[in-house]
Structure 1
Amino acid sequence: MPNRRDCLLGLAGLLTLPHALAEPAPRRHGHLIAVGGAEDRERDRLILRRFIEVSGGPQARLLLLTAASGDPAGAWAGYQSVFAELGAQRVEPIDFRTPQEANDPAAVQRILDADGIYIGGGDQRRLMSVLWESQAARALHLAFHLRGCCIGGTSAGAAALSRQMLAIGEPALRPYRDAVSLDIGLGLIASAIIDQHFNERHRLGRLLSALALRPDLLGVGIDEDTGLLIERGRAIEVLGHGAVTLIDGRQMRSNVREVDPEQPLQMLDVRLHLLPAGTRYELVDTDPETPAPPPALRQALELLVRPGPIRG
């Protein structure tokens, strides 16, 4: 595995790629959109409309990344006509099946040039097995941090946005120590663990199990046809038709290190916030018509909007 020096040298190499950032777009606040899966593609299509909007509108250069899917052609076909009907005029698929493909300079340049990148569903482990320590992953960070590219992800694509990624875990009626397995994701969201299809697949126990292992992180459960839009350093907005569940266990007391692996956990002083679609919370330059979040929620939201480091 490359050491930190090698990673930094690789990152510096990206900056010297031909045209990589030679003509930067006007400075924008980076946006992330984590979608709980099964987003509406037939009726009002609120989430995909908002993705196109924050990416720059109909002329934005958009990519659909299908690396998480076992059927990349089918994944692209499922979105191609929808984006066209919503007015997006410059949408292309991009796929990686091997780490070598994720290091291809031409593909990396396409990421660096994009205004919006949407990561489709499938298997987050498949996605990260291809992207881990790749030039494409570094390019995603550069596009987001330096150009303000909007990066969205649905289902597996949403799970992979965070640094600590929920990789394996069956729905559990109650949390227990060995219910989940965590792995490394893209790291665009630095201080949270994301779970998707949340209420539809009864995943509260699963997310609590993950937070018992990592109480320093914020748990984010996103329902189907629901998107959590994060405006870096500034605000969050809930899109679609479901809700986002935030679980803050930073003050929690737990017996996770003392019980047997399959024994139910004690978890005390856990805070839970339920944010339905249509709500927006601003942390800076607050609009007088937008209610200020209460202190406990504000502390949780500060974790979400806090930009993580550019990963080398």
Structure 2
Amino acid sequence: MPSRRDSLRALAGLLALPAAGWAAPPAPATRRSGHLIAVGGAEDRERDRLILRRFVELSGGPRARLLVLTAASADPEGSWAGYQRVFAELGAQHVEPIDFRSADEAHDPAAVERLLAADGIYISGGDQRRLMAALWETPAARALHRAFHLRGACIGGTSAGAAALSRQMLAIGEPALRPYRDAVSLDIGLGLLAYAIIDQHFNERHRLGRLLSAVALRPDLLGVGIDEDTALVIERGRAIEVLGNGAVTLLDGRQMRSNVRDTDPEDPLQLLDVRLHLLPAGSRFELTDTDTDTPQPPPALRRTLELLVRPGPIRG
């Protein structure tokens, strides 16, 4: 009987086969490590396009097979047209749209095969609830996990697409000036980032209060606030970096004491001993101690980042 490791290797080999209509690029010399790129929205598409350029690079370069998933958008054709132009100008040679308007469409075997064969999948903005209504518990959602975990694909998401990367997703939230229990409503996301809750347009829309509200409800998870035209890049199990023109705010409430269970729904919360880390664009931290040129994070930040990069379970 083959071992579990042999079975996984065989499955990974099957997933590496190209989808119909896509020519297979040269096999990489080494297996890529999976990357997540969570973008706070409004990423630059006209000037340096640093974030989208990095997405193409981490997906494998100009010959990578890229998909733009527009299921969150109310205007999928318009969303695709904008990204089609940008990726073409960045030199990407194989870029196609993929969209799901319903869970029935997310069961289509041909669409699932395209997701499994992709080197990079970029999830557009829109409404994360619309995205999850189409993908929840479908073969397409499981294909995203298999592409990321088994093939090392790069999965990016902007605005609503970023919010949906986490397992616990911010579904509804008010721009609260101060945290209170009913400021947010959480729902289930894609689960590619298992131990965090992502909020986007963070400083531009003054969302610290609502992210603190989410962390009060789930202190076991990190709060991740991402500014516009800013991306948090996570290399699974290894490193993080921040790209763009803003910052990433990390909230760690695992040692927090709060009155969230005892207070009225709209009363201000008391939150004690919450760790806050602010990482401006240009920040990079390596957690494997193999890159001597990258600074080591201080102990409290290291503990936060170790949870952020920790791989979650594969839903496949």
Letter in 2 for 1:34: A
Contact (CA 8 Å) 1:116, 1:150: kept in 2 or not?
yes
Aligned mates of 1:50, 1:20 — CA distance in 2: 24
Question: 1:89 and 2:93 equivalent?
Answer: yes
1:231 corresponds in structure 2 to 235
Aligned mates of 1:164, 1:149 — CA distance in 2: 22
1:4 corresponds in structure 2 to none
1:100 corresponds in structure 2 to 104
Q: 1:297 aligns with which of 276, 294, 301?
A: 301
Q: 1:75 aligns with which of 49, 57, 79?
A: 79
Aligned mates of 1:259, 1:232 — CA distance in 2: 38
Q: 2:284 aligns with which of 261, 271, 280?
A: 280
Aligned mates of 2:84, 2:165 — CA distance in 1: 23
Deviations 1:142-198 (A, max 9, x none): 000000000000000000000000000010000000000000000000100000000
Report the secondary structure of 1:178's partner residue. helix
Q: 1:310 aligns with which of 301, 304, 314?
A: 314
Report the secondary structure of 1:41's partner residue. coil
2:53 corresponds in structure 1 to 49
Alignment of 1:105-184 (within 5 A): 105-184=109-188
| Structure 1 residue 22 displacement after superposition | 4.9
User: Between Structure 1 and Structure 2, how many residues are aligned?
Assistant: 299
Aligned mates of 1:267, 1:286 — CA distance in 2: 37
Percentage of identical aligned residues: 82
> How big is the alpha-carbon RMSD for the aligned residues of Structure 1 and Structure 2?
1.7
Aligned mates of 1:49, 1:286 — CA distance in 2: 25
Deviations 1:289-311 (A, max 9, x none): 21100000000001111000101
Deviations 1:91-124 (A, max 9, x none): 0000000101101000000000000000000000
1:215 corresponds in structure 2 to 219
Q: 1:192 aligns with which of 177, 192, 196?
A: 196
1:40 corresponds in structure 2 to 44
Letter in 2 for 1:272: L
Contact (CA 8 Å) 1:286, 1:292: kept in 2 or not?
no
Letter in 1 for 2:153: C
**Which 10-residue stretch deviates more, 292-301 or 277-286?**
277-286
Contact (CA 8 Å) 2:125, 2:159: kept in 1 or not?
yes
Deviations 1:38-59 (A, max 9, x none): 0000000000000000000000
1:28 corresponds in structure 2 to 32
**Which 10-residue stretch deviates more, 159-168 or 23-32?**
23-32
Q: Which runs of 4+ in 1 moved over 3 A?
A: 18-26
Unaligned runs of 5+ in 2: 1-6, 19-26
Deviations 1:19-72 (A, max 9, x none): 544578652110000000000000000000000000000000000000000000
Report the secondary structure of 2:79's partner residue. helix
Aligned mates of 1:286, 1:31 — CA distance in 2: 18
Q: 2:209 aligns with which of 188, 205, 211?
A: 205
Give the TM-score normalised by structure 2.
0.92
Report the secondary structure of 2:147's partner residue. helix
Letter in 1 for 2:77: A
Letter in 1 for 2:226: I
2:21 corresponds in structure 1 to none
Give the TM-score normalised by structure 1.
0.93
Question: 1:259 and 2:290 equivalent?
Answer: no
Letter in 2 for 1:47: I
Report the secondary structure of 1:97's partner residue. coil
Deviations 1:192-246 (A, max 9, x none): 0000000000000000000000000000000000000000000000011100000
